[in-house]
Amino acid sequence: MDINDIQICKRFLAGCAVQALIDELRLTPKPGLVDLNDTGVHDDLNVSIMMRSAESLRETFEKMAVVSFNEEPSQTLREEIAYIGRQGEQEMFQATGGTNSHKGAIWSLGLLVSSASIYRGHVEASQLLETAGRIARFEDRYVPQEVTNGSVVKRKYKVNGAREEAELAFPHIKHFSLPTLLSGRARGINEEDARLNALISLIANLDDTCILHRGGKEALIDAQRLANLILASGGVSTSEGFQTLSNLNSSMHTHNASPGGCADLLAATLFVDRISTYSDQVMNKKLDMAII
């Protein structure tokens, strides 16, 4: 098997993207979000709907990988991916019966799949993020001019949202969630807690338009304060950190708010981690290509 083969590369990258969505979904306990314990603040989503949504996106990510394979970032590529992404949004809505489960993830993971495919799957984290940012900065002339939850709160609260996060090459993944994940592992924390800490580092720092739209500024301030407290107490593995995680969950319920944007960026972080680990292993020739 050879990752330089376009068919293998598309299956590999789409497989990593869908797995990242499933890993995010299964991570438990997450504040306000759907997980294995409960549906958080969501009355129109649950684990099986979100699993269907994640699986429905496999073909979307495969198509994005195919058009990007060995290409250069360009406006044409950006518009091809956006077209495939809009079709993917329709697949998602069909799978969920009309609920928005993964719109932000189609955007962020789609750009990252495209970036990874440009390098045929062999790329380290910072270049993967930089190239995804370069693709995002090209204009999509066909983007629908619609009022979205994100566009409303971005104007109201003068914050950045999903588009700017990507155009800036995912600074919250680069500076917060990925280092938190890697340093947790290096300190010997179990994988679940390292991932939860990565999510908490996003909640502490990101202006999540999903929280702002549902709960307003107060919800975002409360979420960021409690998430910072968890990090200051040493993370979710400490008893104080775990208690504060429970307070953060209660606060999300009080505001009926959910960190959906942070969840998407956690999935994106897990994708970047998987691709860069794979790339390292190939470089060190530790990986048996036949097992991919």
Ligand X SMILES: CC(C)(COP(=O)(O)OP(=O)(O)OC[C@H]1O[C@@H](n2cnc3c(N)ncnc32)[C@H](O[C@H]2O[C@H](COP(=O)(O)OP(=O)(O)OP(=O)(O)O)[C@@H](O)[C@H]2O)[C@@H]1O)[C@@H](O)C(=O)NCCC(=O)NCCS
Ligand Y SMILES: Nc1ncnc2[nH]cnc12
C-alpha 67: how far from chain center: 21
Print the SS3 string covering 78-113. Answer: HHHHHHHHHHHHHHHHHHHCCCCCCHHHHHHHHHHH
What is the C-alpha to C-alpha distance for residues 256 and 219, in angstroms, rounded to an integer?
9
The residue within the footprint of ligand X, chosen from 81, 95, 230, 275 (CB under 6 A), is: 81
How far from 168 is each of 134, 210, 287, CA to CA, in Å? 9, 19, 32
Write the single-letter amino acid at 211. I
Chosen from ligand Y, ligand X, none, partner binding at 33 (C-beta under 5 to 8 Å by type)? ligand Y
By the rule CB under 6 A, 213 interacts with ligand X = yes
The residue of the chain with the least Cβ separation from ligand X equals: 150
Residues ≥6 apart with Cβ < 8 Å to 221: none
Nearer to ligand Y, 42 or 134 (CB): 42
Site for ligand X in 113-132 (CB under 6 A): none
By the rule CB under 6 A, 222 interacts with ligand X = no
What is the C-alpha to C-alpha distance for residues 199 and 126, in angstroms, rounded to an integer?
19
The residue within the footprint of ligand X, chosen from 100, 127, 233, 247 (CB under 6 A), is: 100
By the rule CB under 6 A, 97 interacts with ligand X = no
The residue within the footprint of ligand X, chosen from 19, 127, 151, 183 (CB under 6 A), is: 151
Segment contacting ligand X by CB under 6 A, of 124-132, 192-200, 261-269, 271-279: 261-269
What residues line the site for ligand Y (CB under 6 A)?
24-25, 33-34, 40, 42, 45, 101-102, 258, 260, 263-264
Nearer to ligand Y, 31 or 73 (CB): 31
Instruction: Write down the least CB distance from residue 173 to ligand Y, Å.
Output: 15
By the rule CB under 6 A, 161 interacts with ligand X = yes
By the rule CB under 6 A, 86 interacts with ligand X = yes
Structure tokens at 219: 């919800």
What number of residues does the chain have?
A: 292
Chosen from ligand Y, ligand X, none, partner binding at 107 (C-beta under 5 to 8 Å by type)? ligand X
What is the C-alpha to C-alpha distance for residues 157 and 149, in angstroms, rounded to an integer?
12
Segment contacting ligand X by CB under 6 A, of 22-30, 65-73, 156-164, 234-242: 156-164
For 71-174, list the strands marked E by DSSP: none
Nearer to ligand X, 57 or 189 (CB): 57
* DSSP summary character for residue 173: I
Nearest residue to 258 via CA among 62, 42, 77: 42
By the rule CB under 6 A, 101 interacts with ligand X = yes
Q: How many CB atoms lie within 10 A of CB 148?
A: 15
Instruction: Write down the least CB distance from residue 40 to ligand X, Å.
Output: 11
Q: Phi-psi region for residue 251, left (φ > 0), alpha (ψ -120 to 50) or beta? A: alpha
Chosen from ligand X, ligand Y, none, partner binding at 220 (C-beta under 5 to 8 Å by type)? none
By the rule CB under 6 A, 104 interacts with ligand X = yes
By the rule CB under 6 A, 271 interacts with ligand X = no
CA dihedral 183, 198, 26, 108 (to 10 degrees): -120
By CB under 6 A, name the binding residues for ligand X.
Answer: 81-82, 85-86, 89, 100-107, 110, 143-144, 148-151, 161-163, 165, 206-210, 213-214, 260-261, 264-265
